[in-house]
């Protein structure tokens, strides 16, 4: 009972706060949240925060201060100290959805290139169809060891289609908040799209040329605000830069 009361009290407290934040966010477009967060471009060795903070990715501590370890964007007002990198190789992480290409066949399975440091071994027991060199698969990452080698599960095979490469650091912008960017891309080009976290995007059908151009746009302006709106305008045939 007490717990429930506490919960209710917390809810009551929480409500007005959420209203306020909503009011703040209202005039801003879909991806505008980043706007009221001050952005800062950081380079390796730049100071992120002096005091104690939760630690996110791409930061390190020296003498009690938090520094960036990469070229990217930091949000000085956020609770967590983290940097969104501008570039970098894909490092597999658990539960990532990735797109891979079968590199070669071994006795009991396949080696799958996942655009990372190492290729993954995929047991033949885990896939129903016989794969060939060059087959495109999507899979989730089961586990990663200390050498950044990954194990795959939930393998799906794709027939046909092409792969577009993007910089892995910019994949979150390709998907957008709750898949908003992806929905815009699918609607605007009519392509079937699967975005792998490793920077490989599988597409089939639709206006693939337009899609490639839209992806180029996302890549070159990944660090700017209101990208979904811009891409939407681009796909509708308006000029973006004016």
Partner 1 sequence: MAKKDEKIEYVKNGKRLDGRKVDEIRPLKMEVGVLPNADGSAYLEWGQNKVLVGVHGPKEALPKHKQNPYKGLVRFTYRMASFSVPDRKNPRPGRRESEISKVSGEALEKAIFLERFPNCAIDIYVEIFDSNAGSRAAGITAASLALADAGIPMKDLVAAVGVGKAGGEIILDLNKNEEDAPDAVDIPIAIMPRTEEITLLQMDGLLTKPEWSKAVKLGIQGCKQVYEVQKEALRKKFAEAEKGK
Query: Which is nearer to partner 1, 67 or 75 (by Cβ)?
Result: 67
What the block records as the tokens of 142 is 């089961």
Phi then psi for 16, rounded to 5 degrees? -60, -35
- Quote the Cα angle for 220-72-147, to 5°: 105
Task: Report if residue 43 touches partner 1, rule: CB under 8 A.
Answer: yes
User: In angstroms, what is the minimal distance from the CB of 187 to partner 1?
Assistant: 23
Task: Report if residue 94 touches partner 1, rule: CB under 8 A.
Answer: no
Distance CA 200, CA 115 (A): 8
Quickly count: other Cβ atoms within 10 Å of residue 222's Cβ: 19
Segment contacting partner 1 (CB under 8 A): 38-46, 74-82, 100-108, 154-162?
A: 38-46
User: In angstroms, what is the minimal distance from the CB of 60 to partner 1?
Assistant: 7
Q: Which of 21, 77, 87, 162 binds partner 1 (CB under 8 A)?
A: 87
Q: Which of 104, 129, 220, 238 binds partner 1 (CB under 8 A)?
A: 220
- Quote the Cα angle for 146-148-152, to 5°: 110
Distance CA 199, CA 167 (A): 6
User: In angstroms, what is the minimal distance from the CB of 163 to partner 1?
Assistant: 17
Q: Which one, of 159, 174, 163, lies nearest residue 203 by Cα? A: 163
What the block records as the tokens of 32 is 């505008």
Segment contacting partner 1 (CB under 8 A): 11-19, 145-153, 175-183, 200-208?
A: 145-153
Query: Which is nearer to partner 1, 62 or 125 (by Cβ)?
Result: 62
How many residues belong to the site for partner 1 (CB under 8 A)? 28
Q: Which of 76, 88, 179, 190 binds partner 1 (CB under 8 A)?
A: 88
Task: Report if residue 138 touches partner 1, rule: CB under 8 A.
Answer: no
Quickly count: other Cβ atoms within 10 Å of residue 149's Cβ: 15
List, edge to edge, every strand of the sheet that includes 162-165: 162-165, 200-204, 192-195
User: In angstroms, what is the minimal distance from the CB of 160 to partner 1?
Assistant: 27
| DSSP element (H, E) containing 229 | helix 227-235
Task: Report if residue 230 touches partner 1, rule: CB under 8 A.
Answer: yes
Residues of the shown chain interacting with partner 1 in the complex, contacts defined by CB under 8 A? 41, 43-45, 58, 60, 62, 67, 69-71, 85-89, 117-118, 146-148, 169, 220-221, 223-224, 230, 241
């Amino acid at each position: 009972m007490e717990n429930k009361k506490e919960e209710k009290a917390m809810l009551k407290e929480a409500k007005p706060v959420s209203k306020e934040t909503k009011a703040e966010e209202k005039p801003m477009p879909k991806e505008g949240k980043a706007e009221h967060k001050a952005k800062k471009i950081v380079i390796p060795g730049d100071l992120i925060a002096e005091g104690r903070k939760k630690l996110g990715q791409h930061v390190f501590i020296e003498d009690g201060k938090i520094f960036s370890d990469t070229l990217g964007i930091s949000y000085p007002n956020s609770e967590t100290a983290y940097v969104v990198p501008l570039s970098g190789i894909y490092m597999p992480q658990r539960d990532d959805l990735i797109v891979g290409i079968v590199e070669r066949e071994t006795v009991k399975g396949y080696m799958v290139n996942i655009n990372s440091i190492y290729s993954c071994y995929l047991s033949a027991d885990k896939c129903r169809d016989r794969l060939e060199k060059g087959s495109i698969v999507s899979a989730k990452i089961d586990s990663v060891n200390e050498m950044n080698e990954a194990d795959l599960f939930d393998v799906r095979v794709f027939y046909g289609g092409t792969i577009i490469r993007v910089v892995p650091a910019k994949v979150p912008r390709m998907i957008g908040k709750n898949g908003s960017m992806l929905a815009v891309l699918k609607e605007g080009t009519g392509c079937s799209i699967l975005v792998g976290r490793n920077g490989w995007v599988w597409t089939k059908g639709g206006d693939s040329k337009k899609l490639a151009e839209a992806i180029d746009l996302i890549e070159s302006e990944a660090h700017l605000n209101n990208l979904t709106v811009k891409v939407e305008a681009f796909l509708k045939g308006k000029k973006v830069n004016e």
